[in-house]
Structure 1
Amino acid sequence: MSSLKTVNELIAGSVGGAAQVLVGQPLDTIKTRAQIAPKGMFKGPMDILVQTLRKEGFFALYKGMASPLIGIAGVNSLLCH
């Protein structure tokens, strides 16, 4: 019975961590682009969002997501245990 509880906690932590990354990644992408852009390139976060969507498409907001997705799922699954 204890091993079933552990498996459930690991799955719940992994799913929770994945949800955290899926929601936060677009915001992190916008923040990073704001930090590295030359001064005056963007008018603000909404301008970054609009320009990114127009030039690169929706999935550009999720570039570089694989590593955080794998890492956070593992961390959250251990923290929930």
Structure 2
Amino acid sequence: MSNESKFPKAAQDLIAGTVGGWAQVIVGQPLDTIKVRLQTQPSPPLYKNATDCFRQLVKQEGPKGLYRGVMPPLAGIGFW
């Protein structure tokens, strides 16, 4: 029995890298969203800390708010 795949090594690497990149974006996007909101908040601050920012964001926009703006990074990984 042969261990050779039907896909060329370059295609396997491209697919694995793309899926890995997508996973990185999906995991990191909520943290990046909170970081950006904390960095760009007006004075006086809207949020006390990262936890407060997270709670307010989910309360006001729901869990989907954590993934606002996720499509451009996903589109730019791998195949593009």
Q: TM-score range by the shorter chain?
A: 0.7 to 0.9
Q: Which runs of 5+ in 2 are unaligned?
A: none
- Residue in structure 2 matched with residue 42 of structure 1 by the alignment: 47
TM-score normalized by the length of structure 1? 0.83
- Residue in structure 2 matched with residue 23 of structure 1 by the alignment: 27
- Residue in structure 1 matched with residue 16 of structure 2 by the alignment: 12
The CA deviation at 1:33 is: 0.4
Give 1 or 2 for the bigger CA radius of gyration: 2
The CA deviation at 1:27 is: 0.5
Q: Which has the higher helix share?
A: 1
TM-score normalized by the length of structure 2? 0.84
Q: For 2:78 and 2:41, locate their aligned partners in 1 and report how far apart those are by CA, in whole Å.
A: 30
Task: State the percentage of identical aligned residues.
Answer: 47
- Residue in structure 2 matched with residue 78 of structure 1 by the alignment: none
Q: For 2:60 and 2:41, locate their aligned partners in 1 and report how far apart those are by CA, in whole Å.
A: 15
- Aligned-residue CA RMSD in angstroms? 1.9
Q: Is the 8 A contact 1:21 1:72 kept in 2?
A: no
- Residue in structure 1 matched with residue 56 of structure 2 by the alignment: 51
Q: For 2:62 and 2:68, locate their aligned partners in 1 and report how far apart those are by CA, in whole Å.
A: 11
Q: Which runs of 5+ in 1 are unaligned?
A: 76-81
